[in-house]
Chain A
Amino acid sequence: MTEKENHGTNAILKIEGVSAGFGKREILSDVSLSVMPARIMAITGKSGSGKSTLLGILSGLLEPQSGRVLYNDDDILKWFDFKRSRFRNRHIGFIFQFFNLLPDMTAYQNILYPSALNVFSKDRRGDAEYLIRQMGLETIRNQYPSTLSGGELQRVAIARAIINKPKIVLADEPTGNLDEATANGIIDLFFEIKERYGISFVIVTHDHRIVERADVHYHLEDGRLSLISGKGSAGLRRFAQSGITTAAPKTKVAKKTAAKKTPAKKASPKKNSARKKIRK
């Protein structure tokens, strides 16, 4: 991974010189970033450092005060909302910390929803069935989100994010609300999806396990984005020193799921090795 990649020519999506803020408070200051194909990019930073704002700008949901957001060298900020929405629907998938499934739809309907908005999806039901099988969601396909566990909710959310075969999935703390075992499973799933479908992931996270395995790692601080590096680099040590630890379950759902599935103390060997790396 080189600095060159930051301004890569074969990037799927690029932001150039983006500045954003609320009132006088500047959140992002002259930020540039390129999302390369089939890569997993981790973005870390303190709370309120502008990570989610960055995701919003990347997806065209938020408009920066200055700068450009380029998709195929076309500035999406100049597009009408209708075109930007269509772009978001077809080329961007979203995964959130709190899953954000539509509560009045079943798991299957939630997965199907983005494809219903996409006129080019030819076999959307077939795709949904395939993803349900791939992600082991057969037993819960007709259940409503309120009856699902955190892991199940996140798997449904992932299936929903990739149903339209997007080029990029933007994930905002996807493991932040899951117990360790479930979180590991979800992280594995991200890498599997990346390998299988060539989808890039931009993951805003506090979770060191994602950072460890990510192809690229950026850190956001004082409105500036710094390329830290790839796996096992010195940058990762800096990240570890910044005090960020393994994400713990935060919500009731996550705690319940954690209690059900895996005892919290039982950490996987993989996780232990990751901890060791961070301690170094």
Chain B
Amino acid sequence: MIHIARNIFFIIKDSGRNIIGALISSFGILFLIAFLVLYLSFRDSVKDYVETNLFGKLAINEIKIFPKKSATDSFFSTASAVSGSISPETVKRVREMKDLASTYSVIRFDYDTRLRGELMGQAARMHVPVFGMERTFFKGKDPYWKTFRTAEPLPVIAPRFVFELLNNFLAATDLPTMTPETFRGFPMTLFVFTEDPKGKDIRNVTECAAHSFTDVLNLPGVIIPSDFIVEFCRKHQNDSGKYKRGYKYVMLVSSVRDVKRLPEVTRKLKSFGLAVESREDIAQKTNRVLEIIDDSSLVIIGILLILTVISIFNSYLTIVYTRAHKFSLKRVLGVSKIRIIFGFVFEAALIGVIYGALGFFIGTSLLDYFGKNVGRWIPALQHLYLARPGAGILVLALALSSAISSISALVPAVFASNINLFKAMKK
């Protein structure tokens, strides 16, 4: 026991003597750990962000129902909802399902729609799909949900990415970015083009105002109260002299009474020729995005790892040859091979721990810096919250860096223990 303790003491003492030189040699590990810390923290933040902004949020018991052809394994199924439609009969059947507590239908104008707005003296009129949604759907999801009703001006909810695009535009023109609240009441004009019996366009103008931004539905267009669309279409259903309903059902959002029965509900909805997306599906999609991030990060980590290992291996090999005389002398004096190897590996592990801690600190500092500035550089990412890495990542960084360092030093350590003693002693 005393022998082991004494050996450990000597190994620590020896490592202390050589630590500066070895520290310089293993510098590369710092980048690896800093990148790893950044990546792991980024990953969690990006996961939240992707879930929220790319695919929309769903409660655990909520499902999105799409027409099948537009949603079959589509990565951006919400976006593809523009082209498909669900028949009113199917909507009725879905609404009648006892397993569903509530069903909200998303409808879309079946007319050409345009939206006109003016920002910083620049007017723009563009084709925008216009969707309708019931007011109560936004209860608990939008703080201004009560005022989302047919009125003048007509409230318009835009997807979150529109807000970010606007801010990007402002940032690109060196103008200060805005909060969602500043955009509230922003005036717009909605044009809906119906046809007269001769096939000429009838321009129907409605004054609108920005109501809020949503990341719940993530539709590729703006949302207005559905009763406005229904009422408008009722008024104009015979404009062309031939009946046209004027809107179509593109998506349903339902909440399931009992989450456990979600698989049965899904099966039943699929039997109606519909596609269903639950939170689990969104998680799967998020995972696919994360897989892309993971794969590219792993390539970078892999390259850094290889470079680090080669660099440490090379440095330690140099150390072995420069300290060959010392190692051989110690062997002569009675130091065993295993102690030479252990001493070397311990030294490398110690350096790994130091660099692990340093890399963690640098990674965290970079993360803080990015967190503060990413919104300024890329306004679309201003809601990207970069969470500080926790104790788990610190432990992982320390363990990983010491493992990489000591494994890289293992082969040189074996060389050190097998140096031709008498040859080295003669030098």
Contacts and interface: CB of A to CB of B under 8 A. Distances in A.
B332 A59 contact: yes
B6 A61 contact: no
Given A102-B326, A102-B329, A118 B425 contact: no
Given A56-B422, A88-B332, A94-B332, 6 more contacts: A62-B421, A85-B339, A96-B425, A100-B425, A102-B329, A116-B6
Contact of B336 (A86, A90, A103): A86
A118 B337 CA distance: 16
Contacts of A116: 6, 10
Contacts of B6: 116-117, 119
B331 A85 contact: yes
Contacts of B336: 81-82, 84-86
Contacts of A88: 332-334
B401 to A, nearest CB: 27
Interface in B1-43: 2-3, 6-7, 10, 17
A270 to B, nearest CB: 30
Most buried by B among A61, A85, A88, A119: A85
B172 interface: no
Given A53-B422, A61-B422, A119 B334 contact: no
Contacts, number: 66
8 contacts: A55-B422, A62-B421, A81-B337, A82-B336, A94-B333, A114-B334, A117-B333, A119-B2
B307 interface: no
A133 to B, nearest CB: 22
B338 interface: yes
Contacts of B101: none
B3 A119 contact: yes
A61 B332 contact: yes
A95 to B, nearest CB: 10
B334 A90 contact: yes
A85 B335 contact: yes
Main secondary structure of the interface of A (DSSP, over half): helix
A3 interface: no
Interface of A: 52-53, 55-56, 59, 61-62, 81-82, 84-86, 88-90, 94, 96, 98, 100, 102-104, 113-114, 116-119, 160, 172
A89 B329 CA distance: 12
A52 B335 contact: no
Nearest to B329: A100
A139 B338 CA distance: 37
A119 B285 CA distance: 63
Nearest to A52: B422
Contacts of B325: 100
Interface in B310-336: 325-326, 329-336
B331 A61 contact: yes
A89 B334 contact: yes
Nearest to B4: A119
A117 B326 contact: no
B332 A82 contact: no
B327 to A, nearest CB: 11
A77 to B, nearest CB: 15
Contacts of B338: 81-82
Nearest to B339: A85
Top 3 A-B residue pairs of the complex, sorted by shortest distance between their CB atoms: A89-B334, A85-B336, A119-B3
Contacts of B422: 52-53, 55-56, 61-62
Contacts of B334: 85-86, 88-90, 114, 117-118
A100 B331 CA distance: 12
A226 to B, nearest CB: 22
B331 A117 contact: no
A61 B421 contact: yes
A198 B242 CA distance: 125
B350 to A, nearest CB: 18
Interface in B117-145: none
Nearest to B13: A116
A89 B2 contact: no
